[in-house]
């Protein structure tokens, strides 16, 4: 075991370790592999880190890639290269990743900023997010501040705003509440089953699409069903392909200008 006690500063030589416990301040001098990393202090350096499990409560800032089976971050995590997690990535602090994130599952309960692509089987976020491209089988995001995602692809997608507490509702106007929290998707949302609330997006395409309260969507392509809440705004919506088809089809047709309020198709 390699240990860095609290209030001490040490350098970690490259190589393999069973366990690294860092409660002080440490710097990687070479690439490091370990079975387990427990971080309560600060760990940084320009090299890569491989671990069976990472438990990070402090500050992790490395410029090399990170590869691990499981990771749990509750402190400050700043990564400049790809983060690969074979199992579940859990973060409840602040995660800033300048490259790609590849994980079996991602759970975000704090603030997350990812500039690259997140590729995962399941993404669950209950937080403020600022993400690049997301490619996931299942996506569930409940946002509580103004958030953004560049583009989003998945089979089941749910993007919803967190309910305001009683005092916030009591002392805020409807306009203030409407502007206080929404999620912007700057490019596309593509999925099979899509549910959106308080989302602003250019394009949405899915088999079954629900455009819920507070949404502003420029164009929606749907295959089987569409529902548009009376408080939502959709610039244009149009069907694509034939209902019940399995294959993806390129949207065609003139579409409809001015989507009906509370309408189904």
User: pLDDT for 153-192, tens place per residue?
Assistant: 999 999 998 765 444 545 456 665 555 678 999 999 999 9
What global pTM score does this model have? Answer: 0.85
Q: Are 4 and 11 in contact (CB under 8 A)?
A: no
Residue 246 lies in a domain: no
Residue 146 lies in a domain: yes
Residue 257 lies in a domain: no
Mean pLDDT value across the chain: 87
Residue 123 lies in a domain: yes
Residue 212 lies in a domain: no
Provide mean pLDDT across the span 3-7: 92
Is pLDDT above 80 for 260?
no
Please report the pLDDT score of residue 124 as a whole number. 96
Round to whole Å and give the CA distance between 176 and 198: 13
Count up the domains in the chain and report the number: 1
Round to whole Å and give the CA distance between 143 and 141: 6
Q: How many residues does the chain have?
A: 265
Residue 39 lies in a domain: yes
H-helix or E-strand spanning residue 167: helix 166-170
Residue 258 lies in a domain: no
Domain hosting 184: range is: 2-191
Round to whole Å and give the CA distance between 99 and 21: 26
H-helix or E-strand spanning residue 89: strand 83-91
135-155: pLDDT as tens digits: 999 999 998 778 999 999 999
Is pLDDT above 60 for 231?
yes
Q: Are 131 and 108 in contact (CB under 8 A)?
A: no
Please report the pLDDT score of residue 40 as a whole number. 96
Please report the pLDDT score of residue 146 as a whole number. 86
Provide mean pLDDT across the span 3-16: 92
Helix (H, G, I), strand (E, B) or coil at 86: strand
Residue 26 lies in a domain: yes
Angle (nearest 5°) at CA 170 between 169 and 174? 55
């Amino acid at each position: 075991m390699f240990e860095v006690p609290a209030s001490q500063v040490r350098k970690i030589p490259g190589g393999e370790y069973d366990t690294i416990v860092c409660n002080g301040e440490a710097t990687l001098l070479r690439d490091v592999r370990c079975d387990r990393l427990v971080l309560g202090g600060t760990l940084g350096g320009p090299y890569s880190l491989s671990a069976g499990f990472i438990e990070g409560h402090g500050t992790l800032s490395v410029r090399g890639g990170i590869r691990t089976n499981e990771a749990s971050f509750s402190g400050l995590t700043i990564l400049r290269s790809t983060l690969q997690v074979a199992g579940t990535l859990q973060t409840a602090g602040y995660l800033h990743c300048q490259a790609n994130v590849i994980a079996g599952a991602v759970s975000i309960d704090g603030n997350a900023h990812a500039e690259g692509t997140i590729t995962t089987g399941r993404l669950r976020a209950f937080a403020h997010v600022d993400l690049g491209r997301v490619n996931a089988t299942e996506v569930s995001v409940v946002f509580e501040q103004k958030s953004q995602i560049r583009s989003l692809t998945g089979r089941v997608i749910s993007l919803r705003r967190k309910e305001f507490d009683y005092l916030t509702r009591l002392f805020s106007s409807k306009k203030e509440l409407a502007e206080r929290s929404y999620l912007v998707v700057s490019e596309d949302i593509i999925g099979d089953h899509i549910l959106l609330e308080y989302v602003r997006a250019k394009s949405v395409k899915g088999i079954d699409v629900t455009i819920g309260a507070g949404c502003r969507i420029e164009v929606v392509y749907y295959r089987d069903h569409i529902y548009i809440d009376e408080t939502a705004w959709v610039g244009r919506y149009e069907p694509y392909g034939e209902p019940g088809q399995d294959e993806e089809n390129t949207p065609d047709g003139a579409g409809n200008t001015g989507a009906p309020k509370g309408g189904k198709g």
